Structure formats: structure tokens, C-alpha cells
Structure 1
Amino acid sequence: MAATWQVHDAKNRLSELMDRAVKEGPQVITRHGRPVVKVVAVDAHEATQPAGDDGFFEFLMSAPKIDELELPVRRGRKAPPELG
């Protein structure tokens, strides 16, 4: 079970909160008694990510560039209707 901190305590003892996240595991910060944030050590977070998952941004950036994209020619289509 993760340790729980009130916002006021988390602000005043941020260094301790970070140390505990590294040494003991996730730390939960609450506001008005409700959990709102979980502080997790970077190493622990990265260990939960699938191998080779570079993220959505990298996925999009790996797509073919527009000038490299070859689209098939569509034949037999009617001309677009006149607007206006």
C-alpha cells in the first residue's frame, strides 16, 4: 500500500516525499481526503512500460512524410459537384 500525504505536508516535505518514492515505492498525495496524485520514482515507472514503446509522438514521427507518400490513383469517379 502506498504512503499517503496531505497536500500541505507534501509541499513542506517534498524532498522527503521524493526520497520515500525512490526507496519505498509510490506515494499518494491527497486533497480534502481524496487521492489526487501519485508520485512514482522514474525507474519504477519505466519498469512498468512495455519494451520498445517509444510513445505516441515517436509513432507519429515515424510515419512516411507527405512527399514520400504514394497514394493510388482512383479511377471511375465522377467529378465533384459544382458548389455555388
Structure 2
Amino acid sequence: MRSWPVQDAKARFSELLETCLTEGPQLVTRRGADTAVLVPIGQWQRLQHAARPSLKDLLLADTARGDLLLPARGDRQRRGPAELL
């Protein structure tokens, strides 16, 4: 993956875009620190789909995606049906 300083990326954006499409993701740096990555749209869509599965995928999954944290019940007793009237 080629690294582009932000000044070069701004000045030569067309070249950056073309390089991204032909060679793959391109890294943009600011003051020597990694800042952003330009990726082709097909790869971005695959990443988005993998990160956020559809409802169908979630329902058909063998395992749960995460644990649901439920608060502990209080010490109070539930009222019976006669007390509700």
C-alpha cells in the first residue's frame, strides 16, 4: 500500500484515485501519521456488508452476535391480580 502525504493527495487526487483503482488501497498521511485510506468501492461495499450483516444473516447465525446485558431485578415483590383492581 502506497503512502501519500495529504498535500500530495490534494494536489494529485486524480492520480491517487487512479492508483487506488489499479493497485488497491492507498494510505493518506498527515504530518507522518496515518490518517485515512482510499479504497475501491467494491472493496468498501464488501467491508460494509461484513461489518453489518442483514437481519436474515443474524437470525440464521449459529451463535449470538453479542450478549444482552439485563439489569438485576429489584427486591420488590410483584403485585398479584387482585391488587391491580
Q: TM-score range by the shorter chain?
A: 0.5 to 0.7
Superposition map of 1:26-37 within 5 A: 26-37=25-36
Over aligned residue pairs, what C-alpha RMSD do you find?
2.6
Alignment gaps of 5+ in structure 1: 55-74, 80-84
1:23 and 1:31 map into 2 onto residues whose CA distance is 23
User: Which residues of structure 2 form unaligned runs of 5+?
Assistant: 55-77
TM-score, with structure 1 as normaliser: 0.56
Q: Partner of 1:10 in structure 2?
A: 9
The one-letter code sitting in structure 2 at the alignment partner of 1:6 is P
The equivalent of 1:76 in structure 2 is 79
- The TM-score with structure 2 as length reference comes to 0.56
**Higher normalized helix content (fraction of residues):** 2
Deviating above 3 A after TM superposition, structure 1's stretches of 4 or more consecutive aligned residues are: none
Give 1:3 shift.
0.4
**Distance in 2 (alpha carbons) for counterparts of 1:31 and 1:24:** 21
Corresponding letter in the other structure for 2:53: D
Give the count of matched residue pairs.
Answer: 57
Amino acid at match of 1:24: E
SS at match of 2:29: strand
The 3-state SS of whatever aligns with 2:79 is: coil
Which residue identity is paired with 1:40? V
Q: 2:46 corresponds to which letter in structure 1?
A: A
**Equivalences for residues 45-56 of structure 1 within 5 A:** 45-48=44-47, 49-50=49-50, 53-54=53-54
What are the Cα deviations for residues 1-33 of structure 1, in whole angstroms up to 9, with x where unaligned? x10000110001101101111110110000111
Equivalent position of 2:66 in the other structure:
none
SS in 2 for 1:38: strand
